[in-house]
Amino acid sequence: RWGGPPLVVRDVVVIGGLGGSPGENTGRQNGNQGDIRGFDVRTGKQLWKFRTVPRPGEFGNDSWLNDAWSYSGDVSVWGQLSADEELGYVYAPIETPNNNYYGGARPGNNLFAESLLCLDAMTGKRVWHFQAVHHGIWDWDFNSPPSLLDITVDGRKIKAVAEVSKQNFVYVFDRVTGQPVWPIEERPVPRGNVTLPLGT
């Protein structure tokens, strides 16, 4: 199943992947990963698949330490996708990996979790991404559909995309390049020392 409705852009049906899978908040890991897929609108043939939990050799796999990519799940679009038909880009708000409230079994930054991801609708290739929370443990994922806006900032016209977070922050990017319209400050947080045996 998928969490949000499919989206059609440039004759490609885009589905956001498995959402809200069992075990999300139970302390268990599951391998139900939320791959995003594109299908031909006329034939139904799958054209591409983007793995939101990257496999070895794929961009971002090194952010899932100790092979956590192989057993971690979710990282799906459980809200709504948005798309720019003119650009042919799809904007996907990505959720937290399981377990939502304990990350000891999935060390690393866990890309593409808790990210806004821009994909080429025809190929499924990553254009750009922004990860709001590295290694999330509080379920602070993106769940709102990205809003496409044409704005003017300091006299410059910008094709923008805005994403509202559960913290009530609004992240605004150039939807072509992924560059933040206004500065976004990265803040380090202290590391904890809580560990549980894998599989609990």
Output b/e per residue, 20-48; b: 16+ Cβ within 10 A.
bbebbeeeebbebbbbbbbbeeeeeeebb
Q: How far apart are CA 66 and CA 117, in angstroms?
A: 24
Number of H helices, E strands in the chain: 0, 11
The one catalytic residue among 84, 139, 150, 154: 139
Residue 195 neighbours by CB under 8 Å, 6+ apart: 104
Q: Is 139 known to be catalytic?
A: yes
Query: Which residues are tagged catalytic?
Result: 139
